[in-house]
Amino acid sequence: QVQLVESGGGLVQAGGSLRLSCAASGIIFSINPRGWYRQAPGKQRDLVATIATDGTTNYADSVKGRFTISRDNAKNMVYLEMNSLKPEDTAVYYCNAHIYSTRFSSSREYWGKGTLVTVSS
């Protein structure tokens, strides 16, 4: 069974930095793409960033220039480096992955349980 487990959330002051990590485990042939989403209280879950196997990235306009997504394919890890954090970045951050269990299977989408990031002003 595939699992995604996030880590690295916490409380930080505005202007600070945090690094989120997401580990994928289970029967995995490949993962493409991977990403981070976030959900603030009372709001919908929104895209933060995605990264493909070839390294192609996509960012929400609100985080461009401040956040960097990266991945380690050999370790099935994805990271989100968050700098210049703002109070409006406060949310639960979810890891997302489209996982192929074999070379010939279709991908299936998985979500982690989320990690809370709180940015104080």
Tell me the mean pLDDT in the region 3-23: 97
- The yes-or-no verdict on residue 29 having pLDDT over 90 is no
pLDDT tier for residue 83 given thresholds of 50, 70 and 90: very high
- The yes-or-no verdict on residue 57 having pLDDT over 90 is yes
Enclosing H/E stretch for 80? strand 77-82
pLDDT for res 91: 98
From CA 22, how far away is CA 37, in angstroms rounded?
Answer: 12
Q: Which of 55-69, 80-94, 101-115 has the lowest mean pLDDT?
A: 101-115
Contact 36, 69 (CB under 8 A): yes
pLDDT for res 79: 97
